[in-house]
C-alpha cells in the first residue's frame, strides 16, 4: 500500500533537514511517495530526486507559494511540477526578488532601532535558502537582542511591530497560473489553518476553482476528525481532488511528522489520480 506525503519542507526554505536527509527520514517513516514543497523555491529538488532514487521511493517535485486573497495570506502548493519550466523559473526568481526587497526594508527598520547588520546576519542563517523573518529572528537571538524566536516576533518582527514589512505576494490567480503552466496541480494548503468561517473558506475555494485550481489538502498533519470531515465535505462540494501531507519542517514536532497522519476519507478523489 502506498503512503503519500505531499507536503514537506527542507532547509532550502524553512525546514532544517537537507533534502537528502528529508527523503531518508520519509523512507524510515514508511512514506512511498514524497513531495518536496519548499516555500518559493525548487532548489532542493535535484538532491531530493537523487536521494529518492537511492532509497527506492518516488519523489514528486513541488513548491509552496505564498499568496494574498482578500487581505489574507494563503498558501498554494504545486504538485508534480516541472521545476525547469520557464514559467516556474521566472516565478521563483520573482518571489526571490520580492523577498530580498522585503528583507532589505526589515533590516533598515531594525538598524534604526539600534540593531545593525541584521541583513547580513539573516542571510548567514538562511545559508543560501529562502530568506525570511525566521532568519532575522535567529540572528537577533545570536546577537543578544532577544532571548527567543517568540520574543523576536512579539517585539520586532510580528504584524504591526517596529520591524514589520508586508510581503509582496502574488494573487491566487498568478500562483495557480505558474503551477499549471509548469504542468503541475495547484492545491490549497492546510485550509483549516486560515481560521476562516466555512462560508468564507467556500468563497476562497470557489475562486480557486475558477482560476484553474484542482485540489485542496483534506488532511494536513495530525488534525481532529471533525476537521477532516469538514474538509472532505468542502472538497466534494467544490469538485476538488483531495491531497494529504504532514507539512513537515523539523523532526521534533510529532503532529507534523512525515507520514504521521490519517488517510484520506474513502469518498474523496485522491489528487494522485491526476498523474498515477
93-157 matches 4-91+169-274 in CATH topology: no
d(CA 110, CA 90): 30
78 in Cβ contact with 103 (< 8 Å): no
- Report the pLDDT value the prediction gives residue 70, as an integer from 0 to 100: 92
In our burial notation (b when 16+ CB lie closer than 10 A, e otherwise), range 29-65 reads bebebbbbbbbbbbbbbebbbebbeebebbbbbbbbb
- Report the pLDDT value the prediction gives residue 193, as an integer from 0 to 100: 93
Query: Tens digits of per-residue pLDDT, 213-246?
Result: 999 999 999 999 999 999 999 999 999 999 999 9
* Alpha helices, H only, the chain: 19-28, 45-55, 86-112, 118-126, 133-142, 149-152, 172-181, 198-210, 225-237
pTM value? 0.91
Taking alpha carbons only, the member of 83, 32, 86, 88 closest to residue 55 is 32
Taking alpha carbons only, the member of 58, 9, 12, 51 closest to residue 31 is 58
- Report the pLDDT value the prediction gives residue 41, as an integer from 0 to 100: 95
Fold designation for 93-157: DNA polymerase; domain 1 (1.10.150)
256 in Cβ contact with 249 (< 8 Å): yes
Does 3.20.20.140 match the CATH number of domain 4-91+169-274? yes
d(CA 189, CA 192): 9
176 in Cβ contact with 212 (< 8 Å): yes
pLDDT in tens, the chain (276 residues): 689 999 999 999 888 899 999 999 999 999 999 999 999 999 999 999 999 999 999 999 999 999 999 989 999 999 999 999 999 999 999 999 998 999 999 999 999 999 999 999 999 998 887 888 989 999 999 999 999 999 999 999 998 999 999 888 999 999 999 999 999 999 999 999 998 998 999 999 999 999 999 999 999 999 999 999 999 999 999 999 999 999 999 998 888 999 999 999 999 999 999 997
d(CA 22, CA 36): 9
d(CA 75, CA 55): 29
Q: Return the C-alpha cell found at 100.
A: 530580498
4-5 vs 33-36, strand pairing mode: parallel
d(CA 177, CA 200): 22
Element (H, E) at 58: strand 58-69
- Grid cell 537577533 in the structure block, residue: 140
- Report the pLDDT value the prediction gives residue 140, as an integer from 0 to 100: 97
How many CA atoms does the CB half-sphere of 184 hold within 13 Å? 29
- Report the pLDDT value the prediction gives residue 126, as an integer from 0 to 100: 86
Beta carbons within 10 angstroms of residue 171's beta carbon? 14
Sequence ranges of the domains in the chain:
4-91+169-274, 93-157
Amino acid at each position: 500500500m502506498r503512503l503519500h506525503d505531499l507536503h514537506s519542507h527542507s532547509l532550502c526554505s524553512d525546514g532544517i533537514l537537507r533534502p537528502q536527509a528529508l527523503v531518508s527520514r520519509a523512507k524510515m517513516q514508511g512514506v512511498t511517495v514524497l513531495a518536496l514543497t519548499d516555500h518559493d523555491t525548487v532548489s532542493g529538488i535535484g538532491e531530493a530526486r537523487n536521494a529518492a532514487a537511492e532509497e527506492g521511493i518516488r519523489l514528486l517535485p513541488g513548491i509552496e507559494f505564498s499568496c494574498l486573497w482578500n487581505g489574507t495570506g494563503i498558501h498554494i502548493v504545486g504538485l508534480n511540477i516541472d521545476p525547469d519550466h520557464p514559467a516556474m523559473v521566472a516565478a521563483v526568481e520573482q518571489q526571490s526578488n520580492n523577498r530580498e526587497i522585503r528583507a532589505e526594508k526589515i533590516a533598515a527598520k531594525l538598524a534604526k532601532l539600534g540593531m545593525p547588520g541584521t541583513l547580513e546576519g539573516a542571510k548567514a542563517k538562511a545559508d543560501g535558502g529562502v530568506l525570511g523573518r525566521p532568519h532575522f529572528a535567529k540572528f537577533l537571538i545570536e546577537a543578544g537582542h532577544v532571548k527567543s524566536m517568540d520574543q523576536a516576533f512579539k517585539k520586532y518582527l510580528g504584524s504591526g511591530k517596529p520591524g514589520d514589512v508586508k510581503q509582496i505576494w502574488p494573487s491566487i490567480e498568478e500562483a495557480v497560473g505558474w503551477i499549471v503552466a509548469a504542468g503541475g496541480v495547484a492545491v490549497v494548503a492546510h485550509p483549516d489553518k486560515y481560521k476562516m468561517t466555512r462560508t468564507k473558506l467556500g468563497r476562497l475555494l470557489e475562486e480557486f476553482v475558477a482560476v484553474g485550481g484542482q485540489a485542496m489538502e483534506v488532511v494536513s498533519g495530525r488534525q481532529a476528525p471533525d476537521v477532516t470531515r469538514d474538509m472532505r465535505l468542502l472538497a466534494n462540494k467544490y469538485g476538488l481532488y483531495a491531497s494529504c501531507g504532514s507539512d513537515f519542517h523539523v523532526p521534533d514536532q510529532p503532529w507534523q511528522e512525515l507520514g504521521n497522519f490519517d488517510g484520506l476519507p474513502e469518498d474523496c478523489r485522491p489528487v494522485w489520480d491526476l498523474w498515477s
